[in-house]
Structures are given as C-alpha cells and as structure tokens.
Amino acid sequence: MSIAEEVNCLRRIPLFANIDTSKLKLLAFTSERLSFRAGDVLFQQDEMGTCAYILLRGEAEVVVTGPGGPLAVATLGSNEIVGEIAILCDVPRTATVRARTDLETLCVPKDHFLQMIADFPQMGLEIMRSLAHRLEQTTMRLREVLAAQAT
Amino acid sequence: MESSIFRFILRHSVRQQIVLTLMTLASFPFLYASLDLPKRIVNEAIAGKKLPESFLGFHLDQVSYLFVLCGLFLTLVLVNGGFKYVINTYKGRLGERMLRRLRYELYVRVLRFPLPRFRKMSPGEIIPMITAEVEPLGGFIGDAIAIPVFQGGTLLVYIAFIFIQDPVLGAAAVSLYPFQGWLIPRLQRKVNQLGKQRVRAMRQIADRIGETVSGIQEVHTHDTASWHLADLSHRLGDVYRIRFEIYQRKFFVKFLNNFINQLTPFFFYSIGGYLVIHGQLSFGALVAVLAAYKDLAAPWKELLDWYQQKEDNRIKYEQVVEQFHVPDLLAERLLREEEDVPFTGALAFRNVGFGEDGGSAILEGVTCDIPLDGHTALIGVGSGRDELAQLAARVLLPSSGQIRLGERDYAELPESVTGRRAAYVGATPYLFAASLYDNLVYGLRHRPLRENGESGEAAARRKDRQTESILSGNATDDVHADWIDYAAAGCDGPEDLKARILRVVTMVSLQDDVYGMGLNRTVDPEQRPEVAARVLEAREAMRAMMMNNPDLGRLVERFDPDRYAANATLAENLLFGTPVGPIFQTDALASNPYMLHVLDKVGLTGTILETGHKVAETMVELFAGLPPGHEFFERFSFIGFAELPDYQAILARTAKEGLGALRPEERTRLMTLPFKLIGARHRLGLMTPELERKLLEARHLFARDLPEDLKHAVAFFDPAAYNAAASIQDNILFGRMVYGQAQVQSKVGRIVAELVDQLHLRDTIVEVGLDHPVGVAGSRLSAAQRQKAALARALLKRPDLLVLSEATSGLDTSSQTKVHAAILGERKGCGLVWVLHRAGLARAFERVIVMKDGRIAEHGRFDELNKPGTLLHELVSAE
C-alpha cells in the first residue's frame, strides 16, 4: 500500500475528513506503517503511550482490566483511530488494544499528532466529537456488562 | 620553583649559556674581518693603491690579489653563516629544552596542588598559562645572556676607541646614556604594568570562554547568549584599551630613544665642528669619532631592544609562576616514593577537622576508628559525610587533627600506598577520553612494569627520546611500556585480566550496556580473526533459525545477491555492500563516474533521473509549508530546508522545458535523491518490479567491473565473509530489520541475544564493547553508565579500603539493589566505607557512623543504635 492509498484511507476517517490532502500526505509520510498479526497486542493498559494508531485494515478489540478481570469494551475497524487518549493528555494507556484479525495500522507519533492539532483546529473539534461518541459507546457497553453480571 | 626567569635560566642552563656566549664571542673576529675585507678589496685590489709586496710569502700581481681577497671574502661569508647557523640552532634547542622543562614543572605543580585549590582555579586559566603564555620564553632564553654580553662588549670596545681618540668627544658621545638609562626603565615600568593587566584580562577571557563551553546548555535554556556576548565584548574592549595603551607607550619609548640617539650627532656636528674650525680638534679625529659613533648606535639599539624584550618575558614568567606558588603544595615525595605499607587494623581518626581557609569548618572533632576488614556505613544530616569519606580515602587531607594507620601518619604516606590500597568513587566520577577498557584499567597504571618489546630502530628512537627527556628534566618513563599491574587485579596476565574485567563489569550491572556497545562496533577481521569467525557462525545460526521459523523470518530481510532488498536503501542495493571511506557514500553516488557508467550501461540513468524528479516533487509538496528548522526536515525530508528553493527552481524549469534542459549539476542534484529511497519505509510507490530488476543487473555489473583502485572503497555483502565495515550486529543479521513490524528492534534484539548466548559469544562481544570510546569526560555514556564504570574501575584494582560516596545515585532502583548486593558480597572481609543516601540501607553494615552537621553524632552497630531517641532511629523511621 503506498502513501496515496493511505491518504485515501485517512480521508475516510471523520477526524481527517476536512484536512488538506498535502497535510494528510505529510502525516502519512512521517508516520510508521506497522502490521500486527491476529492476537498481537498494540499496547498494554497502564503503559505510557508514545503514539496513536490509525487502523487501515482489519479489526482490533479494546480490553479493560478491572478488579473483575479483563473486559472487552469495544471493537474497532478500519478507518478508526485508537490510543489517542494517552498521547493527548499524557496519562497511561486506559485500555489494552489487541488485534482481532491481521491488522494494518499507521502509527502516528505523539509529537506529530499534537503538532497537527495545533496546526489545524478543525481536527481538534473532530477529535472532541469522536471522543464524546466513544465515551458514550463505552459507557453503554459497560452498563450492559454490569447488567449481565448482576443477573 | 625559581621566582625569576634569570634564576631559572642560570640554574638549569648556566653551562649552555657560557657555551653560547663563547661561541658568540668567537664569531666576532670573523664578523669584523668580513666587514673590513670589502674595504680592502676596493681600496687595495681594485683601486691598486696599496698593493702589498707579497701576500703570505707569495708574490701576487693585482688580479691574482683580487681573486685571493674575493676567495677570502667568500670563505668568510661561509664561516659567518656557519657560526650563525650553529649558534641559532644551539639557541633554538636550548630555548625549546628550557621551555619543555618549564611546562613540565608547571604540570608537576598542577598535580601537586591541594584539591581545594581547584575550586578557585579553572582549567580555562591553567591551560593557557602552561601552553600559550610561556611560549615566547623559549625564544628569549637563548638570547638572555649572549646578547647583552656580546652587544655590551661591542659597545664597550667602541666607547673605549672613542675615548682613546678624544676623551672629550668620547664623553660627549656617551653623555646621554646615563639619562637614557634612567629614563627608559621608568617609562618601561608603566608598560610592564599594562602588560600584567593584559595577561590578567586575557586569562579572564579564557576562563569565560571555558565557562561558556561547559555551561552551554544553561546559555540556551535561559536565553543568555546576548548577556554572554555583551560580557565578552566588554572584556575584549578592556584588552583592546590595554593593548592600545601599550602600543602608544612602547612607540613613544622608541621615539624618545631615536630622538636621543640623534641628539648626540647633533652635538658632534655643532660642538665638534666648532672646535675644528677653531683648530682645537683635528678634522681627521672628528671624522673618526663620527664613524665610531655610528657603529656605537647599532649595539646600543640592540641592547635597548633586548631590555624591552627582557622586561616583557620577565613579567610573563613571573605572572605564570606566581600562580603556581601555592601554599601547602603536596610534597613531591608523596607522588614519587615507592613504599608498601599494609592496610591492616583500622584507620584511626583523632580529633580530625576539615575546612577551607576562611570558611566555616565542614568537619569538626571527628574521632573514630574505621576498620579495614569490615563494612562501615556513613549516614546523617548536614555537611561532612562526603568529606569524611574523602579523608578516609586520602583524597583530602585533614586541616586539623590526625588520621593514623597503625604507627604511620596517614597524611604522610606516599600515593604509591594510598592510591593503590584505597579507592574512592564519588557521585560524579570522571572518565577519560579513551576506550572503556582504558578507563577500567586506569587504576592499574601506576608505573611502567614491562618494557614493550620493541627493538632496532624503535628502541633506538626511544633511547633518544629518553636522553632528551633527561636533558629537559622531564620524566623518563616510557608511556608505551606496559603499565598495567596485573598482580594488583589478582591476575597473571592480559587474558586473565579480561576474564576479571568481565566479572567486575557484571558485578556493577554494566554488562548489558557493554554488550550493546559491542554489537554496534566494527571489528577488524584481520586483527581478530577468531571474533570474525564466531560472528559468521552466529550469522549461519541466525539464517537457520529464520528458515525454520517463518515468524522470525518476517522480522529480518536477509541480503540475497539475487534479490532486491526492500528494507535497504537503493544505494545499498546497488553497492550490495558498505561504503568504506567517502568514495561511495550515498550522497556522492550521483556524481561518482564509475557509478554513472554502470547506470548508463544498464540503461538506468534516465529512470533514476525521473525518479529523482518525482522524489523532489513529493518532498517539495510535503515540506515546503513547514517553518525553517522544523524537526521533520532533519528526520524525514530528503531535502534540507536550505536546499528547498534550489529544488523548487529546478522543478519549475523542468515543468517548462523538460528534464532534458537541465544543467549537469542540476541533474546530479536530482539523481542524488533516489539513492536514499527505502522501498518498504518510504512507500512513495516509486519502486517498480521493473526498476528493481534493472537495479539488480546494475548491482552485478557494479561488482564485476569494479576497477582495482576502487576495490578498497566498498566492503561487499558476502554471505560467507565477514564485513569489516559493518557492525557485529549487522554482520549477524546480514540483512535489514523489516519496516512495518511492531517492536521489531526489541524482538530482533532478543533473538540475537539468545543466539549469542547459545554460541557463547556474549563474552567476546562484551570484550569488543570494551573498546567503545567513552567520549570527552565520558560524555558518550549515560550518567548511570559512568557511575558503573567508575565502580568497576575501583573494584578492579582490589583496594584494601573501598570508599563509596553516593556512588550509585544515578542507577535505577532495581540495578541499585543488585549492585549493592554484589559489592557487599565482593567486599566481604575487606574494608568498605559507604556514604548512603538512605539510612535503612545501613542495616547490612557492621558499623554505622551517624553524622550531624560535621560532627559524629552516633557510632556503633546498627541494632544497638536503632532505638527510640537516637538520630539513626529518627532517620530510619522517616523513610
């Protein structure tokens, strides 16, 4: 997959929908392509994060380890971004992310990501929207799981 | 050290000075004769006025006489030139030897400075004193005595001559000399003072520059460059003012001298002329005296010049030497004497105090015994712990009280005892700019022990060096001898020492770091064939492992002569080797005639140019919008910010006129770009299968036709041969790590480590890693690595007393625990003093000394002291 295709992929992510093609190209060029096999861990909960991942192809699951053991809270597919929380606010990873299938990702280092947000405020807004959406989904899922445990 | 330059000169070179003076005097008659002879040639031989009857018993006609005199003239020219040559060489050699002696003595003084002195004196001051400031003295020393003797003698002869001619005119000729002799030193005095000021100002500048270099980080962190520039400008202004004033005064002295010198002829002409007119003086006598006075002027001027030079050098010498006259310099015998005093029993501190002169006491009234066969922990609050540790290691000397070792005063023991039987490691140890190995064995290099077995010419050269060292009063020890004291490390030779170093390095948890350094180092297979052979074994094992395990195979792409490596640069793929030297470096390939020839031959030149054009387009598109100095240029762009406009211009031209219209240098610039392309990493979609196939063709052609004189410039990738230009790791992998695999580096690192262990190669690689240069002051190592290296250095020499002062503070907690346990184990039954930053750690020690504000508060066994109410208890509970 060449940069041009990666840019097409990025374009489909709402976060980057309104960004200049040349900037997306720059983002792709300065990011590392990483592939994972099914079952590989992208990152572990509680580690410090250095990059966010953009899923190009394949699926990944988000697992939270709580007092009750590991709990799968979400599944992510292509054109989604994951791991941006830890690099946005300098906290340890809030969950473990594992490849469910063979996975192609673009690994965006923290400093590049923050630079992009600073350069393009539109991106910041999109991130806010996407985070809010994600939070809502996670909460719903957690409620379901708790309800299932209670019965 | 002699306080004046003349005392220094007389003490060390009186014989040479006499020889020099005698030689100068001996040259004088010849010089005189050569001045006289032309007159005789003109008057007697050519004009034929006073042709002698016979010359040395031969009868000569006018022409023969002329030729004889001319021959004589030529001989005299040669003799005079010869004298000059011999005297100047002699002077030069004398000057250099004396300069060498002076520098050496100053350096000896630096070694003898009491340590607290270095808090007041910076390297920026010391270094120029020993190097630049004393430099002119060498030139002066040869002239110091010979010139005044010679010129003074000449002057006296002329004066006598004038006096014999006519006492009155003689008195007139020298009448102004006393006045000049009184006036000039007075004027010179001010110049001297200014000279001193200048030296001081220059030293301060040197000091400031040194500080800027050391503190460069702070300068940039706090935006203080302007302040430093202003400061330096101010100081340079001072120096300018001083120098300008010196010039003014110096040239005024010259002016005055010249004027006074011309004043005397004025008297001659006026008074002497008057006397001649009145018949009181013969015309001939006046002419003779005038001529003599003219001769007088030259030596007099020389003497005055010499005087100014002498003053200049005298001040330079005094200003340097006074800086090295330090009270309580360490006795020289402490550095020199060889003695062996066993370290048994205990170090007995009796009422010991330490403080800097003028400052408050840092340690007071310390009385305790430090056993030399057990472990003592030093903890506490306030000042004095580190000082007490340094006193115990004899790095510092007590300013009051006494430390006794058995019957001996600890302060009086030579360093051949304390520097070998005791060792001190502080929190910020110093490493020398050499290999790690050299730094580790540093503590074993006390004296030359075995001559290096050179013979023939090398031995003769060494002997010459030694003789010369003796003549300059320098040390005669051979720096190239084997200085390593294997016995002190408990070893019987170099091999044994290596094994011991590996153990010590492991003890301080440095082995992984050194292993990493070793992996990244190159090895010369001719010097260490066994290492190369073992690495090749590892390469083979790696290949087998990758074949058997496809998961591993995905991590590394091996070099295959018949396949294009997508994870290597295009340049590497073409060379299929590592460039040695500048000829085939990636940036130089596009202008390398042989490479261009190869590309032409396979018909790739056009493709490379087009690819370069596309790369340039992409780079300009991606990076043109970024501000200058953005880190992306450095990390990702093929084109630096400064070059962007050039490439933009090239692209604009090609858009209009096509690639064919490019100038040769523009073609080269475009063609440089594709060589950096890594297919798997850059993903620009430029590496087509067709291009790769052509490149393989070029690769084969490149190797096949490589001219003999370029063969040294590339080390080819050969599956069966060790690549001397590549690191050990690259040799084992024989390929490139694959882009796009998560954590490929650490995974491959683990695999290599496993392999290395299976093949028992780790010790060898650690050994290679020991050759790693640590950089200036160890700057290529991390702070923790420096501390570990210093600990290893101290442990290696097996001191009877090991003193550590927060020596592991830079290590992370888990390494700290490991290293502490290892050191305590290694030092079982031996003397150990350890300043601990956590009181709880003292539990493992046999004795504890608790300090409070420079005094011993408590002293005893840990569990005895650890009771409510004690300071120790308080410290432990606070943790």
Q: What is the pLDDT of residues B794-827, one digit of tens each?
A: 999 999 999 999 899 889 888 999 999 999 999 9
In the prediction, which pLDDT does B366 show? Answer: 92
Cα–Cα dist B631/B635, whole Å: 6
A75 touches chain B (CB under 8 A): no
- Cα torsion through B816, B820, B822, B828, rounded to 10: 180
| Residue B146 neighbours by CB under 8 Å, 6+ apart | B17, B20, B21, B24, B87, B91
- Per-residue pLDDT band at B54 (split at 50, 70, 90): confident
In the prediction, which pLDDT does A61 show? Answer: 92
Interchain proximity B740–A26, CB inside 8 Å:
no
Higher pLDDT, B427 or B167: B427
Interchain proximity A29–B682, CB inside 8 Å:
yes
User: Coil, strand, or helix at residue B707?
Assistant: coil
Give B165-188 pLDDT, tens digit per residue: 778 777 877 888 888 888 888 888
Residue B49: is its pLDDT beyond 80?
no
How many distinct helices (H) and strands (E) make up chain A?
5, 8
Gyration radius (Cα) of chain A, Å: 16
Interchain proximity A2–B684, CB inside 8 Å:
yes
B682 touches chain A (CB under 8 A): yes
CB distance B59 to B187 below 8 Å: no
Beta bridge partners, A54, equal A81, A106
Interchain proximity B741–A42, CB inside 8 Å:
no
Interchain proximity B622–A25, CB inside 8 Å:
yes
As a whole-number percent, the residues of chain B with pLDDT over 90 amount to: 50
Beta bridge partners, B380, equal B851
| Residue A13 neighbours by CB under 8 Å, 6+ apart | A54, A79, A80, A81
Report the amino acid identity of residue B98. M
Residue B157: is its pLDDT beyond 90?
no
B636 touches chain A (CB under 8 A): yes
Average pLDDT of the residues in B648-671: 89
User: Coil, strand, or helix at residue B525?
Assistant: coil
Residue A116: is its pLDDT beyond 80?
no
| Residue A107 neighbours by CB under 8 Å, 6+ apart | A31, A32, A33, A34, A51, A52, A53
Give B219-261 pLDDT, tens digit per residue: 999 999 999 999 999 999 999 999 999 999 988 988 888 888 8
Interchain proximity A36–B635, CB inside 8 Å:
no
Interchain proximity B622–A22, CB inside 8 Å:
yes
B621 touches chain A (CB under 8 A): yes
Identify all chain A residues contacting B740, using CB atoms and an 8 Å cutoff: 32-35
As a whole-number percent, the residues of chain B with pLDDT over 70 amount to: 99
In the prediction, which pLDDT does B9 show? Answer: 93
Residue B53: is its pLDDT beyond 70?
no
- Other beta carbons less than 10 A from residue A77's beta carbon: 12
- Other beta carbons less than 10 A from residue B27's beta carbon: 18
What are the Cα distances from residue B405, in Å, to A142, B19, B211, B423?
74, 53, 41, 16
H-helix or E-strand spanning residue A70: strand A69-76
Residue A150: is its pLDDT beyond 80?
no
Cα–Cα dist B414/B331, whole Å: 9
Average pLDDT of the residues in B728-749: 89
From the centroid of its chain, how far is CA B687? Answer: 49
Q: Compute the count of residue pairs across chains A and B with CB atoms less than 8 Å apart.
A: 41
Distance from CA of A144 to the nearest CA of B (A): 33
Angle between helices B146-165 and B283-324 (to 10 degrees): 160
Structure letter (DSSP) for residue B840: G
User: Coil, strand, or helix at residue B715?
Assistant: strand
- Per-residue pLDDT band at B548 (split at 50, 70, 90): confident
Tokens read off for B551: 């998961």
B55 touches chain A (CB under 8 A): no
Nearest to B636 among A2, A30, A36 (CB): A30
- For A53, the closest chain B residue by CA position comes to B742
How many CA atoms lie less than 13 Å away from B545 in the CB half-sphere? Answer: 18
Domain B5-324 homologous superfamily, CATH: ABC transporter type 1, transmembrane domain (1.20.1560.10)
- For B637, the closest chain A residue by CA position comes to A30
Cα–Cα dist A87/A90, whole Å: 5
As a whole-number percent, the residues of chain A with pLDDT over 90 amount to: 11
| CATH label, B371-396+413-439+782-878, candidates 3.40.640.10, 1.10.3720.10, 3.40.50.300, 3.90.1150.10 | 3.40.50.300
Tell me whether residue B729 is exposed, middle or buried, using C-beta atoms within 10 angstroms of its C-beta: 0 to 12, 13 to 18, 19 or more. buried
Report the amino acid identity of residue B865. L
Structure letter (DSSP) for residue B639: S
Residue ranges of domains in chain A, CATH in brackets: 3-150 (2.60.120.10)
Average pLDDT of the residues in B346-365: 87
Cα–Cα dist B429/B418, whole Å: 18
3-state secondary structure B330-366: CCHHHHHCCCCCCCCCEEEEEEEEEECCCCCEEEEEE
Report the amino acid identity of residue B519. L
Identify all chain B residues contacting A3, using CB atoms and an 8 Å cutoff: 683-685
Cα–Cα dist B183/B190, whole Å: 12
Distance from CA of B218 to the nearest CA of A (A): 24
B451: left (phi over 0), alpha (psi -120 to 50) or beta: beta
H-helix or E-strand spanning residue B474: none
Give B620-629 pLDDT, tens digit per residue: 888 887 777 7
Interchain proximity B742–A42, CB inside 8 Å:
yes
Cα–Cα dist B415/B334, whole Å: 6
Report the amino acid identity of residue B185. P
Cα–Cα dist B765/B759, whole Å: 11
As a whole-number percent, the residues of chain A with pLDDT over 70 amount to: 99
A33 touches chain B (CB under 8 A): yes
Nearest to B685 among A4, A26, A35 (CB): A4
Higher pLDDT, B296 or B495: B495
**Domain assignments of chain B as residue spans, ordered by start:** 5-324, 371-396+413-439+782-878, 575-716
In the prediction, which pLDDT does B510 show? Answer: 94
Phi, psi of B406 (to 5 degrees): 60, -125
Q: For chain B, what's the residue count? A: 879
B432 touches chain A (CB under 8 A): no
Give B8-43 pLDDT, tens digit per residue: 999 999 999 999 999 988 988 888 788 778 878 888
- For B634, the closest chain A residue by CA position comes to A30
- Cα torsion through B306, B309, B311, B312, rounded to 10: 180
* CA nearest neighbour of B440 among B425, B453, B462, B459: B425
Residue B332: is its pLDDT beyond 70?
yes
Structure letter (DSSP) for residue B773: B
In the prediction, which pLDDT does B434 show? Answer: 94
Residue B699: is its pLDDT beyond 80?
yes
Identify all chain B residues contacting A33, using CB atoms and an 8 Å cutoff: 683, 739-740
**Mutant choice from A2, A26, A29 vs B, greatest count of B C-beta within 10 A:** A29
Geometric angle at alpha carbon B433, from B432 and B438, rounded to 5°: 65
Tokens 């042709």 found at: B51
| Residue A92 neighbours by CB under 8 Å, 6+ apart | A45, A46, A47, A48, A49, A86
Distance from CA of A38 to the nearest CA of B (A): 13
User: Lowest-pLDDT range, A80-89, A94-103, B370-379, B443-452?
Assistant: A80-89
A40 touches chain B (CB under 8 A): yes
A34 touches chain B (CB under 8 A): yes
In the prediction, which pLDDT does B14 show? Answer: 93
Identify all chain A residues contacting B687, using CB atoms and an 8 Å cutoff: none
CB distance A29 to B622 below 8 Å: yes
Residue B669: is its pLDDT beyond 80?
yes
- Cα torsion through B16, B17, B18, B19, rounded to 10: 50
Tokens 């003014």 found at: B248
Distance from CA of B552 to the nearest CA of A (A): 13
A50 touches chain B (CB under 8 A): no
- For A106, the closest chain B residue by CA position comes to B740
Report the amino acid identity of residue B553. G
Interchain proximity A30–B684, CB inside 8 Å:
no
Give B751-791 pLDDT, tens digit per residue: 899 999 999 999 999 999 999 999 988 999 999 999 999 99
Residue B348: is its pLDDT beyond 70?
yes
Residue A71: is its pLDDT beyond 80?
yes
**Mutant choice from B551, B637, B741 vs A, greatest count of A C-beta within 10 A:** B741
Cα–Cα dist A64/B209, whole Å: 57
In the prediction, which pLDDT does A1 show? Answer: 61
* CA nearest neighbour of A14 among A60, A59, A110, A78: A78
Mean pLDDT of chain B: 89
Residue A15: is its pLDDT beyond 80?
no
